[in-house]
Amino acid sequence: LRLVVGPAKDKGEPIRLDLKQISTVAEAATALSYTIAATTCGKISPDAAKDVVAMLATLSKAYETRDLEIRLMVLEAAIKSAG
């Protein structure tokens, strides 16, 4: 998965990060760590990192919600079949 963020405020060019496919909260956390490392070594600016972190936080929340929905459906099915 290649993530391209709009132009960086300080460089005027898109930010490119090569991230693996993110489909779980754990993978989003790994991508967050990668983003922090990319920021500390100067690959992306702190402003660009803020944008990436915001997207990863939104993605994490969506996956958390999906996971909770699945767990709830399993519990509801178990209750229905037991009763």
Q: How confident is the model at residue 16 (pLDDT cuts 50, 70, 90)?
A: confident
Query: For 21-47, how does the pLDDT look when each residue is reduced to its tens digit (9 = 90+)?
Result: 899 999 999 999 999 999 999 998 898
Secondary structure of 10-78 as H, E, C letters: CCCCEEEEECCCCCCHHHHHHHHHHHHHHHHCCCCCHHHHHHHHHHHHHHHHHHHHHHHHHHHHHHHHH
Query: For 52-69, how does the pLDDT look when each residue is reduced to its tens digit (9 = 90+)?
Result: 999 999 999 999 999 999
Q: How confident is the model at residue 6 (pLDDT cuts 50, 70, 90)?
A: low
